[in-house]
């Protein structure tokens, strides 16, 4: 990386430029030693600065690799969210079909049960008419009232069961929608954080390029 050669070159240049002797006629060896020590200290400081700069570059590279990995994780998370949405839409459609099928089955069951009950009532009524013609009118009126009551009770039960099922489905749908919204908001926040991190890394790269350019200029 040319760190030590640059420092040695600077020290050598400074050493060559030192005066050979003091102005008072004594030898220049003590002065040369002091200057050489200063040059060596400067070289050590310069080497420390270059090491720190290299450490920052390594840290920036690590941050970039982390950002790339995080982007891959976010892309995978978005893909999973999209897949979940597709599955949930299919589930919603399937639930609607199942609800319609259940409603048809319930209607058929209700009609069948009503038919069976009605047949039993008619058979009983016929038996009563045959046995007691005098009480026929009362029995017919009573049967009509019972039939109306049975129909009303069956309708109420069917409506109550359907309302309970629909409420449970709506609650489950609300929970799923809230979970999707939370996941989408988290994804948006993570994207904003990653964009900010990428911008910071780019700014650090530009600063590093400027530092390297300055070091190259000074080396020349």
Q: Quick one: pLDDT at residue 29?
A: 66
Query: Tell me: the pLDDT tens digits for 169-211?
Result: 999 999 999 999 999 999 999 999 999 999 999 999 898 888 8
Binned at pLDDT 50, 70 and 90, residue 14 comes out as very low
Cα–Cα–Cα angle for 167, 86, 71, rounded to 5 degrees: 120
CB-based contacts of 110, cutoff 8 Å, min separation 6: 154, 158
CA-based radius of gyration for the chain = 46
Tokens representing 151 are: 């129909």
Query: Tell me: the pLDDT tens digits for 54-113?
Result: 999 999 998 889 888 889 899 998 998 989 989 989 998 989 999 998 999 989 888 998
C-alpha 10/C-alpha 47 separation (Å) is 12
pLDDT score of 23 more than 70: no
Taking alpha carbons only, the member of 149, 152, 150, 128 closest to residue 140 is 128
Cα–Cα–Cα angle for 125, 130, 132, rounded to 5 degrees: 85
Query: Tell me: the pLDDT tens digits for 125-183?
Result: 888 767 777 776 777 788 888 899 999 999 898 988 999 999 999 999 999 999 999 99
Binned at pLDDT 50, 70 and 90, residue 19 comes out as very low
Q: Which residue has the tokens 């009573």?
A: 142
Q: Quick one: pLDDT at residue 142?
A: 83
Tokens representing 46 are: 């310069």
Tokens representing 215 are: 């070091």
Taking alpha carbons only, the member of 53, 49, 58 closest to residue 207 is 53
Q: Quick one: pLDDT at residue 193?
A: 92
Whole-number Cα distances in Å, 150 to 137, 154, 157:
20, 6, 11
Question: CB neighbours (10 Å) of residue 7?
Answer: 19
């Amino acid at each position: 990386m040319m760190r030590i050669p640059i420092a040695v070159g600077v020290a050598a240049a400074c050493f060559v430029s030192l005066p050979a002797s003091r102005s008072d006629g004594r030898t220049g060896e003590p002065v040369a030693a002091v200057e050489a020590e200063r040059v060596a200290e400067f070289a050590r400081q310069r080497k420390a600065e270059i090491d720190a700069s290299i450490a920052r570059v390594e840290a920036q590279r690590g941050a970039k690799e982390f950002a790339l990995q995080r982007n891959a994780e976010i892309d995978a998370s978005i893909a999973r969210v999209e897949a979940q949405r597709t599955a949930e839409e299919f589930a919603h459609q399937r639930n609607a079909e199942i609800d319609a099928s259940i409603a048809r089955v319930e209607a058929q069951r209700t009609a069948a049960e009503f038919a069976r009950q009605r047949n039993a009532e008619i058979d009983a009524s016929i038996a009563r008419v045959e046995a007691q013609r005098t009480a026929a009118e009362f029995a017919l009126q009573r049967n009509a009232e019972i039939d109306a009551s049975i129909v009303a009770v069956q309708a109420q039960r069917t409506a109550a069961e359907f309302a309970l099922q629909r409420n449970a489905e709506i609650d489950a749908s609300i929970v799923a929608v809230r979970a999707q919204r939370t996941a989408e908001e988290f994804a948006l926040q993570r994207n904003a954080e990653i964009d900010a991190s990428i911008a910071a890394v780019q700014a650090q790269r530009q600063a590093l390029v400027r530092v390297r350019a300055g070091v190259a200029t000074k080396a020349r």
